[in-house]
Amino acid sequence: MNSLAQELNEILADTCAIRLFSEAGRRIYFPKGILSQSAEAKQKAHRYNATIGMAYQDGSPLILDAIKEQLPSLQAEEAVAYAPTSGVAQFRDCWQQELFKKNPSLNGAALSLPVVVPGLTAGISFLADMFVNMYDAVVVPDMFWPNYRLILEERKHATMSHYPFFNSKGGFNLEGFEKTVRASARQNGKALVILNFPNNPTGYTPTVAEGQAIASILESVASEGFDILVIADDAYFGLQYEDMSLHESIFALLANKHERILAAKVDGSTKEDFVWGFRGGFVTFGCKGMDRKHYEALEKKLMGIIRSSISSSPSPTQYILLKAIEHPSYHEQKEQFKQLLLKRYQTVKRFLEKHPCPSVLKTLPFNSGYFMCFECNGINAEILRLHLLNTYGIGTISIQEKWLRVAFSSVNEEHIEDLYAHIFKAAEECK
């Protein structure tokens, strides 16, 4: 094992992280190579800096006029230069400040600095590299984002331990969640858990009471001597439409909960700032008892994963978003878009209240995010999807041939009633 990896492991030796690491997580490190030497030269090379592989003229990166014209608000250094592996420092600091504002329960808790990743998919995949071994079990609900399967089962050769997402009363299935987490912990000596709220595909966020119960369940399992990694997939964070829903990240309830619970928040601007193609995300760690030296070690481990895969995230994305967050009307503009989505959500709710579902469809609870789901009973969701597409020109998503996901986020408010009327009609025709 490389001596740099050993040094990081020694720093983390008294934490749950060292026990949760995958084999790759134990071995990985951030090298003292070209990047670290270039960073040192950037500070001290006052005459000439002949380190990094970029082309400069008079101290500024070369930039084609054809490129510069597309990015008039960015300097050449911001537009075309490499970003640090961990991300632009100002952007990381800015996002952490926003994180504390959006999650008051953190109340100044010690956290790692957010590390920039190229989208939330990359963040989850990098965490899998750090913490998931072949044949490990990862606890996810039965209604999950399909990309988890590719990341966990196909790339990592792990398995997924499922629990029914909803209970019989239409709330988050606390009993099923606890049973599955406990069984996984006892069988594997640890628990690896992904929590995705608002959930894709259901569009459901737990209530405040349910969120607190989730945290208490994990604390109880940890108190029995089991180490737990909890990945908070916060792709749709901030899009809760009901007051009783948990408006903070579940990460905020876990980041300082127990010395055996390592929480990792995967979030970013993709949905929060309506910049889907920017591919900008973050990974932030929180664990009771960890201090700055522990978090720096975790950050360097993650930087090693990043360096060995994509090297660094795009600079333009980071600088554009940094400038956007600092814009005086940034929060006001975001709120306008949230209100637009809220109205679409409310229109869907009103339609479903006024029009009884066909017998073959059951509306599942939803209160947030972009989506809602119908459970298909007596018909195949894939057949319904194809009928909607081929007969009426309406696109939806079928999941496991059992659920039909509808993204109300992508349909104008004035068209929503027509959309759902056709879904109901098509379901009747598929009987």
| Residue 53 included in any domain | no
**Does residue 364 sit in the same domain as residue 414?**
yes
Q: Tell me the pLDDT tens digit for each residue of 112-146.
A: 999 999 999 999 999 999 999 999 999 999 999 99
3-state secondary structure 287-314: CCCCCHHHHHHHHHHHHHHHHCCCCCCC
CATH assignment at residue 140? 3.40.640.10
Contacting residues for 181 by C-beta, under 8 A, at least 6 apart: 139, 191, 193, 217, 218, 221, 228
**Does residue 314 sit in the same domain as residue 341?**
no
Last residue of a domain, one of 290, 307, 325: 325
Last residue of a domain, one of 263, 297, 325: 325
| Residue 118 included in any domain | yes
The dihedral over CA atoms of 317, 319, 325, 328, expressed in degrees to the nearest 10, equals -130
Question: CA-CA distance, 373 to 204, in Å (whole number)?
Answer: 10
| Residue 341 included in any domain | yes
Tell me the average pLDDT across 309-321. Answer: 96
pTM: 0.95
**Does residue 200 sit in the same domain as residue 317?**
yes
**Does residue 8 sit in the same domain as residue 149?**
yes
**Does residue 259 sit in the same domain as residue 360?**
no
Residue 106: what are its φ and ψ, rounded to 5°?
A: -65, -35
Last residue of a domain, one of 264, 296, 325: 325
Q: Is the peptide bond before 198 cis (omega within 30 degrees of 0)?
A: yes
Contact 404, 376 (CB under 8 A): yes
Q: Tell me the pLDDT tens digit for each residue of 256-286.
A: 999 999 999 999 999 999 999 999 999 999 9
| Residue 125 included in any domain | yes
pLDDT at 49 over 80: no
Tell me the average pLDDT across 339-354. Answer: 98
pLDDT at 36 over 80: no
pLDDT band at 45 (very low <50, low <70, confident <90, very high): low
| Residue 368 included in any domain | yes
**Does residue 312 sit in the same domain as residue 359?**
no
**Does residue 389 sit in the same domain as residue 260?**
no
**Does residue 316 sit in the same domain as residue 341?**
no
Q: Quick one: what percent of the chain has pLDDT higher than 70?
A: 98
Residue located via tokens 């809602």: 372
**Does residue 297 sit in the same domain as residue 362?**
no
**Does residue 243 sit in the same domain as residue 383?**
no
pLDDT band at 34 (very low <50, low <70, confident <90, very high): low
Task: Give residue 92's domain range.
Answer: 3-30+85-325
| Residue 46 included in any domain | no
CATH assignment at residue 344? 3.90.1150.10
Number of domains in the chain: 2
| Residue 281 included in any domain | yes
**Does residue 272 sit in the same domain as residue 339?**
no
| Residue 316 included in any domain | yes
pLDDT at 46 over 70: no
**Does residue 274 sit in the same domain as residue 402?**
no
Distances from the Cα of 263 to the Cα of 20, 191, 266, 284, 384, angstroms: 12, 12, 10, 8, 39
285 DSSP 8-state letter: E
